[in-house]
Amino acid sequence: MRIAVIGTGYVGLVSGVCFSDLGNQVVCVDKDERKVAMLRAGEVPIYEPGLKEVLVKNAEAGRLSFTTDLTEAVQQSEIIILAVGTPSLPSGEADLRYIEQAARDVALSINEYKIIMTKSTVPVGTNHKIKQLVSDLSMKPFDVVSVPEFLREGSAVKDTFNPDRIVIGTDDATAATKIIELHQQLTDNIIVTDVRSAEMIKYASNAFLATKISFINEIANICEKVGADVTKVAEGMGFDKRIGSSFLKAGIGYGGSCFPKDTQALIQIAGNVDYDFKLLKSVVDVNRDQRYSVIHKLEAIYPDLATRKVAVWGLAFKPNTDDIRDAPAIEIIQELVARGVKINAYDPIATDNFRKVVEHENITWCEGAMEAAAGADALCLLTEWPEFEKTDLSALRATMNNAVLIDGRNVFSEEELRDKSFIYRSIGRPNMNTHNDLSPLPIT
């Protein structure tokens, strides 16, 4: 099939690469000339493991190309995939200006029958609006199909080639057949629904996963007070197939370009039809508070926190990505800096992106983990990059001014820390937090 993908963010790029790898002819369109020039040169504008290899392979095979010329791309394709951003407005509602503009651009370019397949996450009813918008501008035949995307950053290639399911929302049987054909090599779990249900499946899925995270974070907070270990609690719960073990990792809360935005949007979608989504509002509140748990733990150790130097390991919202959109590290570092704390920050990949959003004279950007820890009064681990697990804790203790470790992602274990003389705080693991055997060094 001949496919045009509009937007070369995570979703557009990975979809384009996947469909070309399946033998289709794919052209990816972006209005950002810099991105298109990079992609044409075989460079990938985002850090996503495995993406570059498969992109270059398909580009060299002549199945995948990149352009800024939307009209030509649309005219030569049968299927047009909309994969542009739908960020949050200040109200929390999804900002539909990019998807509406892309739909208009497509409408003005249609020369013959097209299937417009929306992969962007859009509020319920948006695909009907897109249909209206296109038919207002074009007399040519077309169908609009909602195919929400479920990939995760950091494992986007694997997720796209091995999806748990494909959801196809359409009212048209012919379009459904064509889109099923496009995906049938990927999975047998293809669910065809009406358009509104497909749109809702995406929001409901993200809201449910966010709920699991806020739930386990609240359990963690109670564990700290009653003397239980949340990692054991989550393990014990996860063996129950009805609960499942995934998305039960307690920490400093969820971030990223999707959960914060999509939970807010669903609250708004509900509000627009006079439904007060109380549960999801609490999920969002819990998540906001959870980010501050790191600061509360620091304050409990250092009443004079403002005079201290704190190392931060991890700036990206999760490991294996350079994406810092709504990363918990942003709010945590901004709050510490506002209090006068000096920060040594380090991330293996995301520092350049982070500096575009947070810049302050009290922040020193470091090239390595040990460099960041040198002379610090405390170290906060905010992203569980694999390299942090391999830390030589004796060397870490020796380089820090005070051996205080706040582990926001429960990376280290009690065994590893025994006899290392750290004051150690993690999330929901009270035994370690009060363990006298750790013989903490006196704080200077």
Ligand X SMILES: O=c1ccn([C@@H]2O[C@H](COP(=O)(O)OP(=O)(O)O[C@H]3O[C@H](CO)[C@@H](O)[C@H](O)[C@H]3O)[C@@H](O)[C@H]2O)c(=O)[nH]1
User: What x/- string results for residues 137 through 176 when contact with ligand NAD is judged by CB under 6 A?
Assistant: ------------x-x-x-----------------------
CA dist list (Å): 225 to 219, 222, 291, 406, 430: 10, 5, 18, 17, 7
Q: Left (φ > 0), alpha (ψ -120 to 50) or beta: where does 421 sit?
A: left
Shortest distance (Å) from residue 7 CB to ligand NAD = 3
- Does residue 258 interact with ligand NAD by CB under 6 A? yes
How many whole angstroms separate alpha carbon 185 and alpha carbon 21?
11
408 token code pair: 């926001």
Residue 9 interface partner, choices ligand X, ligand NAD, none, CB cut-off 5-8 Å depending on type: ligand NAD
Q: What are phi and psi of 101, to 5 degrees?
A: -65, -45
Q: Which residues contact 208 (CB under 8 A, 6 or more apart)?
A: none
Cβ count near 63 (within 10 Å): 19
Shortest distance (Å) from residue 210 CB to ligand X = 8
Residue 30 interface partner, choices ligand X, ligand NAD, none, CB cut-off 5-8 Å depending on type: ligand NAD
- Does residue 263 interact with ligand NAD by CB under 6 A? no
One-letter identity of residue 220 = A
One-letter identity of residue 92 = G
User: Which residues are documented as binding site?
Assistant: 30, 35, 86, 121, 150-153, 202, 247-251, 255, 261, 318, 325
Choose one: 94-102, 213-221, 264-272, 416-424; the region binding ligand NAD (CB under 6 A).
94-102
Residue 16 interface partner, choices ligand X, ligand NAD, none, CB cut-off 5-8 Å depending on type: none
Residues in 31-90 that interact with ligand NAD by CB under 6 A: 31-32, 35, 70, 83-86
- Does residue 10 interact with ligand NAD by CB under 6 A? yes
What is 225-263 written as a DSSP string? HHT--HHHHHHHHHTSTTT-STT---SS---SSSHHHHH
223 given a catalytic annotation: no
Cβ count near 304 (within 10 Å): 8
Q: Which residues bind ligand X (CB under 6 A)?
A: 121, 149-153, 206, 209, 213, 247-249, 251, 254-256, 258-259, 262, 317-318
**Interface with ligand NAD by CB under 6 A: which residues?**
6-12, 29-32, 35, 70, 83-86, 98, 101-102, 105, 120-121, 149, 151, 153, 257-258
